[in-house]
Amino acid sequence: MKRNTLCMAIAVWALSLSAPAQNFDESKVAPYQLPDPLTCTDGTKVTTSRQWEKKRRPEVMEMFQSLMYGRTPKEKVKAEYTLMKEDTHWLGGKATVQQVKMHFTGNGSTHDAMLLIVRPNAVKKTPVIFCYNFQGNAQTMGYDSSILPHASSSFYDQIWVNHDGCGVWDYERAVDRGYAIATMCYHDIHPDDPEYRGQSVAKLFAGYEEGEQMRSDAWSAIGMWAWGASRVADYLEKQPWADKRHLAVMGHSRLGKTALWAGAQDTRFGVVISNESGCGGATLTRRNFGETLEIITGAFPHWFCPGFRNFVGKEHQMPFDQHELLALVAPRALYVASAEQDQWCDPKGEFLSAYHAGEVYHLYGYQGLDTTEQPGLHQPIMHRVGYHIRAGIHDVTCYDWSRYLDFCDRHFAP
């Protein structure tokens, strides 16, 4: 076991001894009152989509930036994209695989990330789903030796978090259904370890030197991963083969949290999909079920801005909750998915959060989930807001991918 791994395991174990026991009993969920997405800070009630966009949405955005995910820098960095490798005969000639190096320059520093794209040859203007991977681009292709090492691979084995439930990469299904998948290893943007901030894209920005991470609203790892998703969108929207009106962002678990924050900020993502994103993602923080704020901010301090920790034990005083993060995606299409055995993520809390986001969708004349009854297993709801819960554990399965493609078909229809 690596030293870092051991230290972190001890820290998580010690934390679990001191943390209040997590609740997995629905009858012990304490009553809670959610903040109203449609009431502005000055008490004004929002009744139109225009009011939402002009007044309330910026307020909600500001809360998530200043209190949870940290402030995304406004400056632009120079980005160069180089096609390193291309195979136009993948999957028996059905698909093209492209490997693109993204090279960023800013604040006297440079930073590289490696993007992998698989796209169908038969489609002229292809909708694209961007989805970060946990273990490197090669892993998503069964360790195909033609896949270039991802940019962070040289120190990858020193990073203590190594994710097991990294799921199925159903490239062929996507290609057959006319979709391109773009992916990149999330460590390429911020290695997933609090000690590796110096190796992250933070260094590309003025003012992001030593000590800045102490600011209460300092940019978090989730914030940086979301930023990386937008840099991929910058590239995709310039590709002649890509249908820039039809870009989706999808993510699993911590990368589901990331997909939501990316989709909240970047309106180029027309479909935003959270696969089992749980605490700090889709699920309601106020519902005491599954993972708690104390546990997540203790185990993964770098995922959120430092100020977020102030809400530990004071969840009911938070001026926002995660249904409002989901509402930031409106009027674009939003899909939240849970798994039955993934109680850590609080499937019911994910469902209720998506339900409550519906209020904002109604301002645009769209249907939200529009039922407070959580559907049974494998009974997806597919309105402008979608939801499913499937049997099984915390993972991304073929069932999940198939529903996401169905949902994209519905919302990307010409």
Identity of the residue, 278 or 349, whose beta carbon is nearer to ligand GTR in the bound complex: 278
Q: How far apart are CB 163 and ligand GTR at their closest, in Å?
A: 6
The C-alpha atoms of residue 264 and residue 230 are separated, in whole angstroms, by 11
**Angle between helices 254-265 and 221-236 in degrees, nearest 10:** 60
Q: How far apart are CB 295 and ligand GTR at their closest, in Å?
A: 7
The C-alpha atoms of residue 332 and residue 407 are separated, in whole angstroms, by 12
Identity of the residue, 291 or 350, whose beta carbon is nearer to ligand GTR in the bound complex: 291
The C-alpha atoms of residue 286 and residue 59 are separated, in whole angstroms, by 20
Q: What are phi and psi of 169, to 5 degrees?
A: -110, 95
# residues near ligand GTR by CB under 6 A: 7
Q: How far apart are CB 210 and ligand GTR at their closest, in Å?
A: 28
Identity of the residue, 97 or 279, whose beta carbon is nearer to ligand GTR in the bound complex: 279
The residues annotated with a catalytic role in the active site are 253, 394
Asked if 353 touches ligand GTR (CB under 6 A), the answer is no
Q: Which residues, 163 to 202, sit near ligand GTR by CB under 6 A?
A: 163
The C-alpha atoms of residue 311 and residue 332 are separated, in whole angstroms, by 30
**Based on the number of CB atoms within 10 Å of its own CB, is 13 exposed (0-12), middle (13-18) or buried (19 or more)?**
exposed
Write the binding mask 56 to 75 for ligand GTR: x where contact by CB under 6 A, - elsewhere: --------------------
Structure tokens, 127: 């909708």
Nearest CA among 246, 286, 218 for reference residue 66? 218
Do 315 and 285 form a contact (C-beta atoms < 8 A)?
yes
User: How many angstroms separate the Cα of 263 from the Cα of each of 61, 270, 274, 304, 336?
Assistant: 12, 8, 10, 17, 13
Write the binding mask 197 to 236 for ligand GTR: x where contact by CB under 6 A, - elsewhere: ----------------------------------------
Q: Which residues, 280 to 309, sit near ligand GTR by CB under 6 A?
A: 291, 296
Identity of the residue, 68 or 117, whose beta carbon is nearer to ligand GTR in the bound complex: 68
Local structure of residue 371 (DSSP, 8 states): -
Angle CA 372–261–207, to nearest 5: 150
Pick one of 60, 279, 293, 329: the residue that binds ligand GTR (CB under 6 A). 279
Q: How far apart are CB 279 and ligand GTR at their closest, in Å?
A: 5
Q: Which residues, 40 to 59, sit near ligand GTR by CB under 6 A?
A: none
Pick one of 111, 150, 254, 383: the residue that binds ligand GTR (CB under 6 A). 254
Q: How far apart are CB 177 and ligand GTR at their closest, in Å?
A: 27
Asked if 278 touches ligand GTR (CB under 6 A), the answer is yes
Identity of the residue, 281 or 368, whose beta carbon is nearer to ligand GTR in the bound complex: 281
Asked if 349 touches ligand GTR (CB under 6 A), the answer is no
Identity of the residue, 97 or 326, whose beta carbon is nearer to ligand GTR in the bound complex: 326
Which stretches of 125-247 are DSSP H helices?
Answer: 137-140, 171-176, 221-236
What's the count of helices (H) and strands (E) in the chain, helices before strands? 12, 10
Q: How far apart are CB 292 and ligand GTR at their closest, in Å?
A: 10
Asked if 253 touches ligand GTR (CB under 6 A), the answer is yes
Q: How far apart are CB 278 and ligand GTR at their closest, in Å?
A: 5
Identity of the residue, 52 or 304, whose beta carbon is nearer to ligand GTR in the bound complex: 304
Nearest CA among 380, 382, 322, 378 for reference residue 354? 322
Do 290 and 297 form a contact (C-beta atoms < 8 A)?
no
Asked if 330 touches ligand GTR (CB under 6 A), the answer is no
* Residue ranges that bind ligand GTR, judged by CB under 6 A: 163, 253-254, 278-279, 291, 296
